[in-house]
Amino acid sequence: MGDPHPKLEAHAVTRTFGRGTKAVHALGPVDLKIAPGEFTCVVGPSGCGKSTLLRIAAGLLRPSRGELTIRTAAQRPAAMIFQDYGIYDWKTVQANVRFGLDIQKVPRREANTRATDWLTRMGLADFADAYPAALSGGMRQRVAIARALAVEPEILLMDEPFAALDAQLRTILQDELLALTQTTRTTTLFITHSLEEAIVLGDRVLVMSARPGRIIAERRPPFPRPRSGEIRTTPEFTALKSELWDLLRGEVGTEAAA
Ligand code: ADP
Ligand code: MG
């Protein structure tokens, strides 16, 4: 079945911040393999090292020990989407979405066509010439998603991308991302606070311990693809959510007591 090599592979990755008595052991050791096309969600208590793991995956931070490798062919990069969107207020929506393509030196005409295509898919075609300040939070996050996907990344790294949105919008964007990633089959590492989000989107859900974050459990939501947001109302969904919550609750308690 296609490429047998994991797209992302972590071996005994740890990260410590600071030194001596001030050292904070933030993460690990973490071992992780993500297969091509697999959508992996990570949930864990606040401060357990989730963002640290993602920043290491994105190459923004080095592990203190261990190794994390991303296998991408040719020019196709990993793309990262942050909770705070990370879009540029001084660029138009179109220019924001084109940004990664400009960096890849995609010819301007093709870059504009691809940017327009993604803006249309995200329902933002009418806002191509607007500046982000004129957009709602949900629209800004759609711009960030369009920008990340426009480069057709081999790996998508998302750090609580919907955390700043209200519950309704969050559900809508979850469903959009679900439909989108089932079409593109982009390998994805997705960090979230929300168990519901993790179950809806993930081929598997990894649960992290309190700091230093380690992977303490793995579950595969039992919903065949293509799936839709309707799985939220099934008994299997509720059961898995409460099972994950039980796992997580132990860790949240640990963190609060520490
Ligand atoms: P999460 O994303 O799971 O909430 P983080 O990965 O952001 O957690 O942080 C894990 C721990 O590492 C926290 O205790 C945080 O304060 C600490 N930490 C993260 N980044 C730094 C940094 N640059 N310098 C010092 N401590 C950091
Ligand atoms: Mg974080």
Could you read off the pLDDT of 21-40 as tens digits, one per residue?
A: 889 999 989 999 999 999 99
Contact 195, 43 (CB under 8 A): yes
pTM: 0.88
Using alpha carbons, select from 255, 192, 212, 215 the residue that is nearest to residue 27.
212
What letters, b where the CB count within 10 A reaches 16 and e where it falls short, cover 3-40? eeebbbbbeebbbbeeeeeeeeebbbbbebebbbbbbb
Name the closest-CA residue to atom 19, ligand 1. 52
Dist. CA 220–CA 110, nearest whole Å: 39
pLDDT at 78: 65
When mean pLDDT is compared over 145-149, 160-164, 242-246, the highest value belongs to 242-246
Q: What is the DSSP letter of 246?
A: H
pLDDT digits (tens, 9 = 90+) for 227-245: 999 999 999 999 999 999 9
Handedness of CA 85, 90, 96, 99 (dihedral sign): negative
Domain boundaries, the chain: 8-73+154-257, 85-153
Residue 20 makes CB contacts below 8 A (sequence gap 6+) with none
Average predicted confidence (pLDDT) for the chain: 89
**Which residue from 24, 54, 84, 207 has its CB within 8 A of the most atoms of ligand 1, so it is best to mutate?**
24
Q: How far is the CA of 161 from the centre of ligand 2 (A)?
A: 10
- What is 8-73+154-257's CATH number? 3.40.50.300
